[in-house]
Amino acid sequence: MRHWSESFILIKSAIVAGGFAINDYYDRDVDATYKRNRPIPSGRIRPEKAKVIGYLLLVAGLILAVLALPPLSVFIATTCAFLLDLYSRVLKRKHTIIGNFVTSYSTAITYIFGWSCLLGVLSGKIVLTLFWMFILSLLVCLGREFIKSIQDLKGDKEFNINTIAVKYGVGIAAYSAAAPLILAVILSPLPYVFNLFGFSYLVIIIIVDIMLLVSSFLLIRKIRKIGDREPIFNFAKKIKESLLVAMVVGLFAFSIGLFI
């Protein structure tokens, strides 16, 4: 069990780091204009070197997965590596909305990946916990991705990146972000309803739900007031960051639910 848990961390880290490096390579023109402190535009690493490192990390992660993990885990790791590469090369610019789902899935699947590494070892309660964490994480990450399209609207327009905010406007992007967040709020009490967790989980998850609802409401209200004018970009960034805080509190809620 310890061997698999250590392998899981190493493999996941290699694949995620490789995905980031590849994304930086394909995003280098945008970063050169709007994020000049990034490794490639700042001159700290050459573009081709970043690309090679990225693919080497992906391959290394997959080789380790084949050597150390069960078949289902290898399948999940391979799928994630493929999707991360596809996202950077194709989806991010040409099919960005699909890319949003891919990014959200690649983040949330971590919980299922961890479960797959320990098949037959984890209790039923932990397996169900990881399932709910996957579902709720997927929804919140998707909401964050749509909000990010508002935050990056200016640069995405200039470089013809076909995000939901570019294609349909910031209003549709805001409502689209609110939809999965509200669905997450609706689903979040179910572990308590099904007697998976106790009252302590419900109390903390209600706090998370309030954060999600308030974030959605504030973003929509702000956009209805100012549209896609300059202040909305920083405001969207703050809302996106607040959702990250909500996710951390959500992790705490699940941890409390497991042990109390």
What is the per-residue pLDDT across 114-123, written as a single tens digit (0 to 9) for each?
A: 888 877 666 7
In the listed set 83, 104, 121, which residue is the last one of a domain according to the structure? 121
Please, what is the Cα angle at 162 between 229 and 27, to 5 degrees?
A: 95
Residues 89 and 147 in one domain: no
Nearest to 12 by CA among 83, 60, 71: 60
Element (H, E) at 219: helix 199-226
pLDDT of 45 higher than 60 = yes
Model pLDDT for residues 189-233, shown as the tens digit of each residue: 999 999 999 999 999 999 999 999 999 999 999 999 999 998 999
Q: How many structural domains comprise the chain? A: 2
Same domain for 77 and 98, yes or no, is: yes
How far apart, in Å, are the Cα atoms of 207 and each of 47, 144, 189, 191, 253?
43, 18, 11, 15, 10
- CA 21/CA 27 separation, integer angstroms: 10
Is 114 in the same domain as 207?
Answer: no
**pLDDT value for 120:** 62
Secondary structure class of 217 (helix, strand, coil): helix
pLDDT at position 4 is: 58
Q: Are residues 5 and 131 in the same domain?
A: no
Q: Is 136 exposed, middle or buried (0-12, 13-18, 19+ CB in 10 A)?
A: buried
Count of other CB atoms within 10 angstroms of residue 29: 13
149 and 243 in a single domain? The answer is yes
pLDDT number for residue 14 = 94
Neighbours of 49 (CB within 10 A): 13
**Residue written as token pair 């964050």:** 144
Q: Are residues 179 and 249 in the same domain?
A: yes
23 and 145 in a common domain: no
d(CA 175, CA 181): 10
Residues 135 and 218 in one domain: yes
75 and 179 assigned to the same domain: no
Residues 41 and 169 in one domain: no
User: Could you tell me if 84 and 169 lie in one domain?
Assistant: no
**48, 15: one domain:** yes
Boundaries of domain holding 217: 123-260
* pTM for this predicted structure: 0.91
d(CA 128, CA 112): 10
CATH number at residue 142: 1.20.120
**How many residues are given for the chain?**
260
Distance (Å) of CA 152 to CA 98, 107, 158, 230, 251: 17, 20, 10, 11, 27
Give helix then strand counts, H and E, for the chain.
Answer: 13, 0
Q: pLDDT tens across 81-105, in order?
A: 999 999 999 998 888 899 999 999 9
The domain boundary, picked from 92, 121, 150, lies at: 121
Which of these three, 99, 121, 143, is where a domain ends?
Answer: 121
Q: What are the residues whose beta carbons fall under 8 Å from the beta carbon of 24, sequence distance 6 or more? A: 31, 38, 39, 40, 50, 54
Neighbours of 196 (CB within 10 A): 18
What proportion of the chain, given as a percentage, has pLDDT over 70?
Answer: 97
